[in-house]
Amino acid sequence: MPLAAAVLLLLTLGAPAEASVATAPAGTAVAPSFDVDAATAAYLGRLSPEARARSDAYFEGGYWLGLLDAVLSVAVSLLLLQTGLSRRIRDWTERRTRMRPLQTALYWSVYLALTTAVLLPVSAYEGFFREHACGLSNQTLPDWLTDQAKGFLLSLVFGAVVVAVLYALIQRLPQSWWAWGAVVATGFAALFLLILPVFVAPLFNTYTRLTDERVRAPILRMAAANGLAAGDIWVSDASRQSKRISANVSGLLGTERITLNDNLLRRGTPEQVQAIMGHELGHYVLNHGYKQLAVLALLALGVFAALRSLFAWSLSHWGRRWGVRGVGDPAGLPLFVLWGSVLGLLLTPVLNTLVRTGEQEADVFGLNAARQPDAFAEDALLLSEYRKLAPGPIEEFIFFDHPSGQTRIRTAMRWKAAQPAP
């Protein structure tokens, strides 16, 4: 995460004062005098100080872990370059084959194995031990390691193709590779979104059809009313991994499917499920997937242009020492990763704001589609188990890729206040 150390004090100073507890008129008609602030405070007050402290500590810890991940990525990349290990891996691949795409794929395989092994302790802390310490994970260590192995194999295969294609492009177009690279990277992102619900997600979870008509029928009616002709709703067994609630409408170009996880079914009422699915339908109806791809293409163009300049500058200073022959040499991959990590760190507020804006649009769409403002506020409280409920404005701008629980509850109460009393 960017600027974590510099803004931590501002985050504390910017946090709002503890809200006083009032009674929210959940499920009742809205009177002309409906008080949005009091209703919002009532929901915020339902989270105990102890629960809020746990959630805040968990979420704020993620700021530092994001910074740590970026620092470690830079450190490992420098280690590979400074020790000459990256150069030696490239030399080894050249002795194995004369085909340059295969050399690149082999380099990627060794690189991925090394970096995964080096960073495994940090990954285990972040993804397993910390999750258990905070009461958010249901996985055993063998199950977690199995999922990590699946992710590694996917990265090995898919990453080898992506890296081989990008390096072939660089080698053929040494002057304009950065522009074409942005196009190709965006294309691979679209391909991944296309195959995700059908081929990737089932590798990690079992999906079954939802049969409870109390939940199923209202969602299908809402979907049909908003242009998504879905015949089935799928349920993932996410509880085998965590206690988090989730749902989505995923896929592109005919692979779209409505999915919710079993945690949401077990912990939420039918109205809460409708509220969340209204939000997810908003992403589909508002074409957020396609819009985000378009924005990603523009960002990729800027990032690749910056990488071209930063790579050339670094190579002019240390390229001979590292044994990197040029921009098309796979031995320079750690240098791309290094600068990519730095740029990602700096772009975090921008990326978070772009995503958060789309999430806010989907929130409003979901309220209009499901018409369940109190259920939506209840969902925000469930999500507050691992997302800070009431951050300060600076904190929310920099670190939140979704609206905070406080923002979402207030949005729901404003929507409720705008409805005419029957």
How many whole angstroms from its chain centre is CA 191?
A: 17
The predicted model gives 202-228 an average pLDDT of 92
Measured CA to CA in angstroms, residue 52 lies from 55, 57, 126, 131, 139 at distances of 5, 8, 21, 17, 24
pLDDT band at 18 (very low <50, low <70, confident <90, very high): very low
Q: What is the pLDDT of residue 252?
A: 65
Phi-psi map region of 209: left, alpha, beta (phi>0 left; psi -120 to 50 alpha): beta
pLDDT band, residue 422 (cuts 50/70/90): low
Interval 220-233 mean pLDDT: 87
Share of the chain above pLDDT 90, in %: 82
Please give the average per-residue pLDDT across 359-375, as a whole number.
Answer: 96
pLDDT at residue 2 greater than cutoff 90: no
Interatomic CA distance for residues 236 and 263, integer angstroms: 9
Q: Which pLDDT value is given to residue 8?
A: 33
Q: Quickly state the pLDDT bin for 193 (edges 50, 70, 90).
A: confident
The answer, yes or no, to whether residue 29 has pLDDT greater than 70, is no
C-alpha R_g of the chain: 24
Cα dihedral 236/366/44/265 (nearest 10): -20
Task: Tell me the pTM.
Answer: 0.86
User: Residue 18 and residue 69: Cα distance in Å, rounded?
Assistant: 32
Residue 342 scores a pLDDT above 90? yes
Average pLDDT, the chain: 89
More confident residue, 194 or 301: 301
pLDDT level of residue 5 (50, 70, 90 thresholds): very low
- Above 60 in pLDDT, residue 80? yes
Percent of the chain scoring above 70 in pLDDT? 91
Average pLDDT for residues 370-386, to the nearest whole number? 95
d(CA 168, CA 183): 14
Low-confidence winner among 200-209, 225-234, 293-302 (lowest mean pLDDT)? 225-234
Give the contacts of 399 (CB within 8 A, at least 6 positions apart): 1, 62, 63, 348, 352, 391
**32-46, 199-213, 329-343 — which one is most confidently predicted on average?**
329-343
List of domains in the chain:
4-18+33-204+287-417 (no CATH), 207-283 (3.30.2010.10)
Q: What is the average pLDDT across 295-318?
A: 96
Q: Would you say 233 and 210 are in contact if contact means Cβ atoms under 8 Å apart? A: yes
Segment 238-255 shows an average pLDDT of: 84
Evaluate whether 105 touches 90 at the Cβ level (below 8 Å). no
**Residues 280, 248 contacting (CB under 8 angstroms):** yes
203 by Cβ neighbours in 10 Å (0-12 / 13-18 / 19+) ranks as: exposed
Greater confidence, 6 or 350? 350
Query: Rounded to a whole number, what is the distance in angstroms from the first to the last CA of the chain?
Result: 48
Neighbour tally for 277: CB within 10 Å: 28
Instruction: Return d(Cα 116, Cα 152) in angstroms, integer.
Output: 8
> What is the band of 32 on the pLDDT scale with cuts at 50, 70, 90?
low
Q: Long-range contacts: 184-191, Cβ < 8 Å, 24+?
A: 185/300, 185/304, 186/293, 186/296, 186/297, 186/300, 188/162, 189/293, 189/296, 190/252, 190/293
User: Residue type for 36, please?
Assistant: V
Greater confidence (227 vs 141) lies with 141
Report how far apart, in Å, the C-alpha atoms of 421 and of each of 31, 356, 372 are. Answer: 6, 31, 15
Give the pLDDT confidence score for residue 71 in this predicted structure.
97
Mean pLDDT of the 380-409 span: 95
pLDDT above 60: residue 23? no
pLDDT digits over 46-61, tens only?
999 999 999 999 999 9
Q: Could you tell me the maximum CA-CA distance found in the chain, to the nearest angstrom?
A: 79
Dihedral pair phi/psi, residue 207, rounded to 5°: -115, 130
142, pLDDT greater than 80: yes
Residue 289 pLDDT grade (very low, low, confident, very high; cuts 50, 70, 90): confident
